[in-house]
Amino acid sequence: MKVAVVGATGLVGGEILKVLAERDFPVSELLLVASEKSVGKQMEFKGKQIKVIGVEDAIAATPQIAIFSAGGSTSLELAPRFAEVGTVVVDNSSAWRMDPTKKLVVPEINAKELTKEDKIIANPNCSTIQMVVALNKLHEELKMKRVVVSTYQSVTGTGKKAVDQLMNERAGKEEGEKAYPYTIDLNVLPHIDVFQDNGYTKEEMKMILETKKIMGDDSIRVTATAVRIPVMGGHSEAVNVEFEKDFTLDDIYRILGETEGVVVVDDVKNLQYPMPKDAHGKDEVFVGRVRLDETQPRTVNMWIVADNLRKGAATNAVQIAEYLMKNELV
């Protein structure tokens, strides 16, 4: 299997390489692709040094799969060019997610929709992925009516520049280009991505629209507030869900326990609950603080945490690639 990683030198690109190695993905040839300024740089994969190449060389090599993590404008320009030579593109950017002709895939939920005709496949937003993984089986059994979510998102979701800004601020250094318009250390920014005409940010609208598309149900009402906090390791979400059907708390725990990819960490007597530092480097979605909403019927609160660079990006993309290979779709 000849695999290209486009945007290999970025935070998510590096995580994709780790995940490919950890999951022993059958790579016969690995193409590391980046912008011209990185061409010629050496990167390590499974103990071997591999030279970074440019886009034209990568397209000419006709890989079977290309995993993109290179930004929306790059994906809009280059994904169709890879697809033209027969490569299946799994794209981490927001470029194709809401395109009605493209599948938006979380393998545990809707990989079965993929066919050989799908040459560009969208990877959802990181905060959306962890929420829908936790909620999908609950939706199947109890039918979600409304979701209210507030996120607490790691600086790693913005990229290396944001991590550098946080660490420089923490060290008292005034250097480097800023990723955020304000200080992030010892602060909270209720602002992720650009503001839209309706007052919501693009990140919030991603969660609202992508949830409906992934679950294939436009009747689910979703509202979101997305917040950046000065942590690394993963995104956290406080989620309030109203269902159509009656349930007990035991039903919620049972369904979560049966949900693929979910680990329940919920023992408040012993102060056990999900935290970003414990999710870091892991592929599972962690759920805890499960409790009934006492203000209205058929509603539950929960706390959802996952490593945004892993299941929120790299792992989900590699799982899509694994599904394509296993089902002979490439």
Model pLDDT, residue 88: 98
pLDDT tens digit sequence for 196-246: 999 999 999 999 999 999 999 999 999 999 999 999 999 999 999 999 999
Residues in binding site for phosphate: 97
- Binding-site entries for substrate: 153, 228
- Give the span between the Cα atoms of 163 and 294, in whole angstroms: 39
Q: Which strands make up the sheet holding 2-6, listed edge to edge?
A: 29-33, 2-6, 65-68, 88-91, 120-122, 103-104
In the chain, CATH 3.30.360.10 covers 127-308
Whether residue 257 has pLDDT greater than 90: yes
Q: Does domain 2-124+313-326 have CATH number 3.40.50.720?
A: yes
Give, for 148, the enclosing helix (H) or strand (E).
strand 144-152
Residue type at 162?
A
Task: Pick the catalytic residue from 139, 191, 235, 280.
Answer: 235
Q: Which fold has domain 127-308?
A: Dihydrodipicolinate Reductase; domain 2 (3.30.360)
Question: How far is residue 22's CA from residue 60's CA, in Å, rounded to a whole number?
Answer: 28
Told to judge if 235 belongs to the known catalytic residues of this protein, a careful annotator would answer yes
Q: According to DSSP H, which parts of the chain are helical?
A: 11-22, 55-60, 72-84, 107-110, 126-142, 160-170, 202-215, 249-257, 276-279, 315-326
pLDDT tens, 106-130?
Answer: 999 999 999 999 999 999 999 999 9
pLDDT band at 175 (very low <50, low <70, confident <90, very high): confident
pLDDT at 176: 86
Catalytic residue, chosen from 126, 139, 191, 280, is 126
Residue-wise pLDDT tens digits, 9-53: 999 999 999 999 999 999 999 999 999 999 999 999 999 999 999
Annotated binding site for NADP(+): 9-12, 37-38, 308
Residues of the chain with CATH 3.40.50.720: 2-124+313-326
